[in-house]
Copies of this chain bind each other. A is one copy, B any other.
Amino acid sequence: MISANDPKLTSWVNVPDHSDFPIQNLPFGIFKTPQMDARVGVAIGEHVLDLKALHVLGYLENLPFTLDDLSSNTLNPIIHRGKVATRELRNRVSKLLSSDIPDLRDKEHHVKQALLPMGDCEMLLPVEIGDYTDFYSSIEHATNVGKMFRDPANALLPNWKHIPVGYHGRSSSIVVSGTPIHRPKGQMLPADADAPVFGPCKLLDFELEMAFITYPGKPMGDSIGTSEAENYIFGMVLFNDWSARDIQKWEYVPLGPFLGKNFASSVSAWVVTLDALEPYKVAGPAQDPPVLSYLEYDGNRNYDINLEVGIQPEGNDETVICRSNFKYMYWNMSQQLAHHTVNGCNIRGGDMMASGTISGKDETSYGSMLELSWKGTKPLKLSNGEERKFINDNDEVIMRGHATNGDIRIGFGEVRSKLLPTR
């Protein structure tokens, strides 16, 4: 077992009940303050531990990280050091924050320098994303889409249970939680029209997803097997795959989604390591028909992570409209990564691979407005009495996630984004 996951650990830093960031979590992020340049931090309770400051103060000695690595405005330099190194770093931070360990705890002037109230910190995009891939790995989501747009009796396409279907997306427009986005314009084909029109998207949607971030992979031409795949995964974030349904519908045959997706995707700021999630592994759904041998795997590879989505209209309270769970995924991350590299495609440190919309069986667990409102035929009621079929201008969409064993909660914080009107 990874020592930093010990459920008996407590921290001398105050961690409120139900905090996403107990000492068993210790997610990494990039933050800055009005006084300080961007740097690497770790979340603990309602504080951020400044790893650059820790390095300067000598607390990270005998670890394979330079001051430059920890003064970076992305996590890529620490990711490039590899899994053994980042695990050691998390273990060191765990020790330094443990109630029992006086080294940092009792040095008041060092604590003052290295521990900052989270409210004083601005979080930045945690990684410079090389390539971004989006999968389509929820059978409930793929089935819902198939029922709506194709044949309800044959909702899944023939390849779906054989391939963790995925496609390449746009990395330049992935932004961190808190960054407002603009309603996109584009071409749409109105019902019964012969020719498309141009204008603001009318059917703007979110997709509830999670994404993993990779360590550097193998040389081009080599593959990563399912048995080793988790060694190539640094951590995870919440991922809102904004989708313009009307633009997407007109453009996506035959080469897939493009402008219907690439105007923006939003991610949470704290990268929860796969190590911290290790205690929350569960079995995935049975896969029938059996998969090809390169997609077979041993052990539990799904993760029990509770997810929710809220909509908050401007000046109103939030209404939670979806509760789902990452454990529902038909294809797990090990299978996704094995498939992605089976043709020799190389991955780099900081690549991001998203799950696809995470829907459950229950109607309230569907991970998009498309499914929740069933193509707009069943509007959702918000707590202020308004209805929503899709997302309105000035709505905020909020996604949250956490794993828990009842006592400890390994949380992701949130990804919160406001939709501004078209520019």
Contact = CB atoms under 8 A, between A and B. Distances in A.
A136 to B, nearest CB: 6
Interface in A134-170: 136, 157-159, 162-163, 165-170
Interface in A267-303: 289, 292-294
Interface in A246-263: 247, 250-259, 262-263
A333 interface: no
A173 B223 CA distance: 13
A170 B133 CA distance: 9
A175 interface: yes
A135 to B, nearest CB: 9
A342 B259 contact: yes
Copies in the complex: 2
Interface SS of chain A: helix, strand, loop or mixed? loop
A288 to B, nearest CB: 12
A292 B175 contact: no
A129 to B, nearest CB: 9
B131 A162 contact: no
B163 A251 contact: yes
Contacts of A173: 220, 344-346
A172 interface: yes
Given A159-B250, A195-B162, A264-B220, A186 B342 contact: yes
A263 B345 contact: yes
B167 A256 contact: yes
A423 B221 contact: yes
A164 to B, nearest CB: 10
A346 B168 CA distance: 16
Contact of A172 (B175, B294, B342, B348): B348
Contact of A343 (B165, B223, B244): B244
A166 B343 contact: no
B163 A343 contact: no
Q: Quick one: which of A166, A222, A255 has the most chain B CB within 10 A?
A: A255
Contact of A254 (B252, B262, B293, B346): B252
A266 B294 CA distance: 27
A257 B256 contact: yes
Nearest to A343: B184
Contact of A159 (B136, B244, B253): B253
A372 interface: no
Given A166-B255, A259-B342, A264-B344, 15 more contacts: A131-B170, A163-B196, A165-B251, A167-B167, A167-B255, A168-B170, A168-B262, A172-B220, A172-B346, A173-B345, A175-B220, A187-B292, A198-B292, A220-B264, A222-B423
